[in-house]
């Protein structure tokens, strides 16, 4: 599964993910674990073992939040979409997606679903590059139009 910036003619599967977020958050998460572990090791002797353990646990918690924020992606394959957001992921058949929306000011793509609900697709967001997000949203829209009508 390759991440594609401009998958207009690319075959499936295609994955969209905010690369800048990942490029910053993944190394930062690793650095936080190392920093808090080093701080726990060099604390003055009057700090107890519990304090040192909590310092390492704090670093792990901060890194976990960073990893959670780096998770979002949208993957399109032959059978449908997999939308991975910060905490949850959801698998959708092509027929379940009615419309792909990315309006001016939206923080990410919103999918209108056949059951009347919406689903945020955080993996496609203008914060990582407006033109890339528009291209990705259009490509996803074209895929949804092509695949969902073919299966109805």
For residue 6, give the 3-state DSSP assignment: coil
How many CA atoms are closer than 13 Å to the CA of 111, on its beta-carbon side?
A: 31
pTM over 0.85: no
Quick one: which of 95, 93, 112, 113 has its CA closest to 103?
Answer: 112
| pLDDT in the model for residue 146 | 87
The alpha carbon of 44 is separated from its chain's Cα centroid by a whole number of angstroms, namely 40
Domain boundaries, the chain: 22-69, 78-151
The share of the chain scoring above pLDDT 90, in percent, equals: 72
Is 108 or 3 the better-scoring residue by pLDDT?
108
What's the distance, CA 7 to chain centroid? 17
Q: How confident is the model at residue 149 (pLDDT cuts 50, 70, 90)?
A: low
């Amino acid at each position: 599964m390759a991440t594609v910036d401009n998958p207009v003619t690319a075959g499936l599967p295609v994955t969209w993910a905010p690369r800048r977020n990942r490029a910053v958050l993944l190394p930062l998460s690793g650095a936080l674990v190392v920093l808090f572990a080093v701080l726990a090791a060099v604390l003055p002797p009057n700090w107890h073992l519990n304090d040192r353990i909590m310092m390492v646990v704090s670093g792990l918690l901060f890194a976990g939040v960073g990893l959670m924020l780096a998770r979002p992606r949208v993957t399109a394959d032959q059978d449908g979409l997999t939308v991975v957001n910060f905490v949850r992921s959801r698998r959708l058949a092509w027929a379940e997606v009615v419309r792909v929306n990315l309006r001016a000011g939206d923080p990410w793509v919103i999918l209108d679903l056949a059951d009347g609900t919406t689903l945020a697709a955080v993996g496609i967001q203008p914060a990582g590059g407006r033109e890339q997000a528009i291209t990705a949203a259009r490509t996803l829209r074209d895929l949804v139009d092509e695949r969902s009508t073919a299966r109805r």
